Structure 1
Amino acid sequence: MSSAELTEWMAYEKIAGPLGGARQDILNAILTAVVANTARGKKGRASKPKDFLPKWDRDRRMDWREMLATVKAINRRMGGTDTTRKKQE
């Protein structure tokens, strides 16, 4: 896998959530809520899975310019090379 492809996958994961098993984040949120509820005591507030579920899209959509800037920044941090013909920044 090239640095550019890795950078693209990292940017995708930041927007869409982790790669891997189908929605393991939901499964882990459910499990964490169960464990938290067993330890909360009788007067504590009951936890819900959504309390432990990360928000992957940050409640907003980036336009293509923001996405490109993010990908280029990650690429630079990882020592990648920008091979685009026209600089868009």
Structure 2
Amino acid sequence: MRHLLADIDSDELTEWMAYERVTGPLGPRRTDVLHGIHTAVVANTAAAKGRKAKPQDFIPEWDQTRPPDVQQMLATVRTVTAALGGTDHTIRR
């Protein structure tokens, strides 16, 4: 951040922020969004009728301030699997 602020003044940084608002996110976040869109399209081609995935379902949250909650991750996978009409083979019958 220090290097960025040494090379770019606040006017230019504000212009880049405005540009990003118009064109969408830049850098790695944009790549995550584009992959989320692509993955949702692919998933929806195989989804049961009426069950549609959203790009947000496939975009990771990069919050490194807390350890991952394994139960929450499993719940998310089960939700997406159900939304796509899949079968949860981890449930013993």
Q: TM-score range by the shorter chain?
A: 0.3 to 0.5
More helix by share: 2
Using the size of structure 2 for normalisation, the TM-score is: 0.36
